[in-house]
Every structure is written in C-alpha cells, then in structure tokens.
C-alpha cells in the first residue's frame, strides 16, 4: 500500500506527521460516516510510547467530544491501565475508524459495528498512525480491531491473549473491549475480568521491557 508519507521530509517529527494526518481525517469524506458525524476522533496519548491501543470506533460520547474512549467504557479502560500503573499519558490510543458508526432506531441514533467498507476506507489513516508512531506493542481492544490488524478470521474468544507478529516489527495481542466487559454479568463478568487482567499484565511486561531497552 502506498504510504501517506512518501513525499514527507524524513526529518519531520512524528508529531508533525500525526498533525497532518489528523487534518486529513477531519475533512475526510471517503465513506458515509462523514455525513452523520459530529466530530472525527483521531487519537490521544503519547505518540512516543512503545504501546499503542486500538479500539473499534467512536461512540456517542466520543463523537460529541472528539476524544477516544470516554464514558463508561473509557472509565473502565482507565481502571484497566491503572491496575498495572499506566495511564492514557503512557500509551497511544486510537480506533480502527475515526467517525461514529450509528443507525437510527426509534428516533434515536444507536451505535453499530462499522461496516467492512468503512473500516477499509479508514485503514490508510490507521496505517499512517502506525507508521508515524512505530509502536513496538499493539493491544487490540475487541474483535474488530484484531480482525483489522492481526487476521480477518480472528476470533476474540479463541485467539485473545496470544502474541502475533505484524509487518513492520510490532507484536500484537487482543483482549476484550471494555464495552464488552461492561455487558457481562455474574460468572461471565468474573471470567472476562480475569482474562483481561491476565492480558494486560502480559502487555505491561512487554511495555516494561521496551522502556528498559530505551534506557
């Protein structure tokens, strides 16, 4: 795939590259999500971090604020990161699509999964982010992100918690999306939380190795 930065001066910093990419996203009309969005949701966090977190896409709260992972799912993500002494400032956080995917039901807009065509339209932006940030570790939050970055046949219940080598040198793992965790009840909730805890510990161990290697 042709790089979005083929013509870019190699001396430019990654922040400049990401600013240019965010500007492209803000005026993007590659798919129909452009007609219903309030804001594009590009990313947050540290572009110099070795760890990138990739979710599915913005919801209502994210669409309203232009920030990824706000609301209940965002609070849970903060708790998950905090359990291993990380914050949003320690990671780079983005989504596979940068606009809210929603459908009207009963006079209200309800979140839906992005269509394959929408993910495909947005993929050059995600690839551009990965090229600029150059993460060493990628944590996919949920099946859609894993299908996009790891394997189109990825099954979150079967394949989560395993490491996969990506082109470019990054290693990737997937765990359950915080919104999925919030929908669980009883024993299912306890089991899901246990698996997420195991996954984030493994990711944090790799994060620590990467930080130590940087000195």
Looking up residue 46, the CATH number of its domain turns out to be: 3.40.470.10
Residue 6 covered by a domain: no
Domain count, the chain: 1
pLDDT reported for residue 4: 47
φ, ψ of residue 104 to 5 degrees: the values are -80, 125
Q: Encoding tokens for residue 197?
A: 């805890």
Residue 9 covered by a domain: no
pLDDT reported for residue 12: 62
Residue 71 covered by a domain: yes
Tell me whether residue 177 is exposed, middle or buried, using C-beta atoms within 10 angstroms of its C-beta: 0 to 12, 13 to 18, 19 or more.
Answer: buried
Sheet holding 92-95, edge to edge: 44-45, 92-95, 51-55, 137-141, 171-175, 164-165
What is the chain's alpha carbon radius of gyration, rounded to the nearest angstrom? 17
Residue 3 covered by a domain: no
pTM for the structure as a whole: 0.91
Strand extents, DSSP E, 100-180: 102-105, 108-111, 137-141, 164-165, 171-175
Instruction: Please work out, in degrees rounded to the nearest 5, the angle formed at the alpha carbon of residue 81 by the alpha carbons of 190 and 183.
Output: 35
Given a cut of 70, the residues of the chain with pLDDT beneath it are 1-12
* Structural domain that includes position 93: 21-214
Residue 13 covered by a domain: no
Residue 80 covered by a domain: yes
25, 42 contact by CB (below 8 A): yes
Residue 48 covered by a domain: yes
Residue 1 covered by a domain: no
The CA distance from 98 to 63, in Å, is: 9
């Amino acid at each position: 795939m042709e790089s979005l930065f083929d013509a870019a001066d190699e001396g430019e910093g990654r922040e400049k590259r990401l600013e240019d990419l965010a500007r492209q996203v803000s005026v993007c009309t590659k798919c129909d999500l452009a007609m219903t969005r309030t804001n594009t949701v590009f990313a947050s966090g540290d572009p110099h971090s070795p760890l990138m977190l990739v979710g599915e896409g913005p919801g209502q709260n994210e669409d309203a604020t232009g920030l990824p992972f706000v609301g209940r799912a965002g609070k849970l993500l903060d708790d998950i990161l905090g359990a291993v002494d990380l914050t949003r400032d320690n990671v780079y956080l983005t989504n596979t699509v940068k606009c809210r995917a929603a459908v009207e039901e009963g006079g209200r807009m309800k979140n839906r999964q992005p269509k394959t065509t929408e993910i495909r339209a947005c993929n050059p932006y995600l690839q551009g982010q990965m090229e600029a940030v150059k993460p060493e570790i990628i944590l996919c939050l949920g099946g859609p992100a894993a299908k996009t970055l790891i394997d189109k046949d990825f099954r979150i219940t079967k394949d989560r918690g395993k490491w996969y080598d990506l082109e470019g040198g990054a290693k990737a793992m997937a765990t359950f999306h915080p919104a999925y965790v919030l929908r669980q009840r009883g024993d299912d909730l306890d089991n899901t939380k246990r698996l997420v805890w195991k996954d984030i510990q493994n990711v944090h161990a790799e994060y620590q190795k990467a930080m130590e290697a940087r000195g």
